[in-house]
Amino acid sequence: MLRAVRQESVASGLSRKAAAVGRHQSVASGFSRKAAASRVLMQMHDASLSATSRQAPLRRHAPLFLTFCPNRKEPFFAEPAKVELVQAQFLRAGSEVQFALTAYCFMPDHMHLIATGLAEDADVKKFIVRAKQYSGFYFKREFGISVWQRYGFDRVIRDDMELACTIGYIVANPVGAGLVSDPLLYAYLGSTRFEVTELLEMGECDRRLTQPSA
């Protein structure tokens, strides 16, 4: 009888361990799918970055490349009033927590942004939270709808070459989407630090992306 009880106990323990392993594998699979989706999203941009750049040591206050999408990817940012409201609240958040918008571009159904800390203790998480909270609150008050998807995409910019290529990628977006023939003609492209012409010069490494597809 005691032997049977011990065998049942061992079998029960093995079952619990197997269940735990199954749960861990399920979670890992979920993370893998999310990582794969992010890699597909950035495939064109990654092609312009060297392996050395992507593996460079992380700097605590390094610039961050951010992408945010409207709720259900609605084309909210095709309307000037909605772009101006969101832009104003991102600028407000940046001013409060010492972040510059080194480059930004509002596409109809997403926005790209390089956020650069202006102080050693600048906290990018605070910037993101405030920018999305402020813009979300005023957007809903003004237009009666929620603006943001819950999650965005972020990537640390590790060196000057990667910064230049990321700027090039951002300024290329309106031309690549067929919205304008020249980035200088796009109203929703800008920076709190540079003129658009300067962004174009800085992003010269990705200049080929500003040419429309044949």
Instruction: Evaluate whether 203 touches 196 at the Cβ level (below 8 Å).
Output: no
127 phi and psi angles, rounded to 5 deg: -60, -50
Q: What is the CA radius of gyration of the chain?
A: 22
Q: How far lies 204's CA from each of 18, 70, 96, 180, in Å?
A: 54, 29, 31, 18
pTM, two decimals, is 0.69
Rounded Cα distance between 74 and 76, Å, is 6
The dihedral over CA atoms of 118, 98, 185, 86, expressed in degrees to the nearest 10, equals 160
Query: In the sheet that 64-68 helps form, which strands lie side by side, from edge to edge?
Result: 153-156, 64-68, 110-117, 99-107, 189-190
* C-alpha torsion sign, points 43, 150, 77, 168: negative
Determine contact, residues 112/170, Cβ cutoff 8 Å. yes
Where residue 205 falls among pLDDT bands split at 50, 70, 90? low
Q: Using one digit for the tens of pLDDT, what is the confidence trace for 161-202?
A: 999 999 999 999 999 999 999 999 999 999 999 999 999 999
111-132 mean pLDDT: 94
Over residues 3-32, mean pLDDT: 43
pLDDT tens-digit map of 68-119 = 999 999 999 999 999 999 999 999 999 999 999 999 999 999 999 999 999 8
CA distance 147 to 87: 13
Taking alpha carbons only, the member of 120, 60, 68, 63 closest to residue 89 is 68
The contacts of residue 151 (CB under 8 Å, 6+ apart) are none
